[in-house]
A and B are shown apart, each in its own frame.
Chain A
């Protein structure tokens, strides 16, 4: 540590359910170098000041989706957000919005996981194939239909960004809908009607009022807002045309 060591103030919203009534802020002065991420700032605090500081992390390369938090009010992955970009101002980190806080920066994701499971995120084969038949053929344009929506890392930043999630915690929400859309658009899949039941339900796509902030904060350019909004069109078609279609659409 040289004399020119820069120090940044990190204000952390702390909350320990076993001892605190309410979340409260605590400020730490952290020496940093230009290559240090906000996550590394938090690690510095845990290693040197207070081992009880709690947050999720693993890959530190923006791919595992663990380390989301509100950084100066904006949902971000802390491993790819750098302290230098905030210096010399104070930086404030808090648990992701719209989720119950479990402790410090750790939020309860069980609701999100239920939504993810509910949309049936697996291939429901249109035409089953045996291994001997080899792979399905997918042309570049069939591939282009869904590939963007496969990039979601389940970081839930879009949930922290979406005010409608905040207003209605049952809203299936951007990432889970994007995942449903990913399978619906896959030429190997024939499960759209099954998934539509959920997308078109009262917890489904129409909770979205096209705020669009979900897509703006998405670190992987999934554009979940687009998936949600496009499915309003699909769900509406399904709603109006179900009487015409021979199968009667979904219930």
Chain B
């Protein structure tokens, strides 16, 4: 089984989308740091915010963004595989429709989140 995942473009893609997990973890740990700092008081929190501004952090977050966006995309692309078939009027819904529904939900959720954050901030 050695190197099986190199044998076929399907497997390479699979490994890439599985690989996004590393970035999800990295980002979650970043947030966990923030939470720890929040618990330590205002100065610590501000230092964390400052650290986020470092070029290293910015670059890292661009990478996180790309990886997690790809994760989101592939997550919904796998819907026809992972979700029970959607049946409307006794007919199976086409796979593309399932994928697109998922993607639309993701866009809506992201915008809702942005709107929500904006509202508490303002």
The interface of chain A, by Cβ under 8 A from chain B, is 73-74, 140-141, 144-145, 148, 163, 166-167, 209-213, 215-216, 223, 225-226, 229-230, 233
Contact = CB atoms under 8 A, between A and B. Distances in A.
A74 B8 contact: yes
Nearest to B84: A230
B108 to A, nearest CB: 23
Contact of B80 (A73, A144, A148, A226): A226
A215 B91 contact: no
By secondary structure, the B interface counts as mixed
Nearest to A232: B82
A167 B90 CA distance: 38
A226 B8 contact: no
A240 to B, nearest CB: 17
B116 interface: no
B41 to A, nearest CB: 40
Interface residues of B, number: 20
Contacts of B84: 230, 233
Contacts of A213: 8, 10-11, 14
Contacts of B82: 210, 226, 229-230
Nearest to B14: A211
Given A163-B11, A212-B78, A144 B92 contact: yes
Nearest to A139: B90
Contact of B5 (A73, A145, A163): A163
A163 B8 CA distance: 11
A213 B90 CA distance: 27
Contacts of B14: 211-213
A211 B11 contact: yes
A73 B11 CA distance: 12
B116 to A, nearest CB: 29
A24 to B, nearest CB: 19
Contact of A144 (B1, B11, B81, B87): B87
Contact of A226 (B11, B18, B81, B91): B81
A141 B4 contact: no
A216 B84 CA distance: 17
B90 A141 contact: yes
Given A141-B90, A144-B87, A225 B8 contact: no
Contacts of A223: 81
Contact of A163 (B1, B80, B81, B83): B1
Contact of B85 (A210, A226, A233): A226
Interface in B13-48: 14, 18
Given A144-B92, A210-B78, A229-B81, A166 B4 contact: yes
Closest 9 CB pairs of A and B: A141-B90, A229-B82, A212-B81, A166-B1, A230-B84, A225-B81, A213-B10, A211-B14, A140-B90
A225 B87 CA distance: 18
Interface in B57-97: 78, 80-85, 87, 90-92
Contacts of B11: 163, 211, 213
B53 interface: no
A38 B120 CA distance: 66
Nearest to B18: A209
B7 interface: yes
Contacts of A166: 1, 4
Contacts of A141: 87, 90
Given A73-B8, A163-B4, A163-B11, 5 more contacts: A144-B91, A167-B1, A210-B81, A229-B82, A230-B84
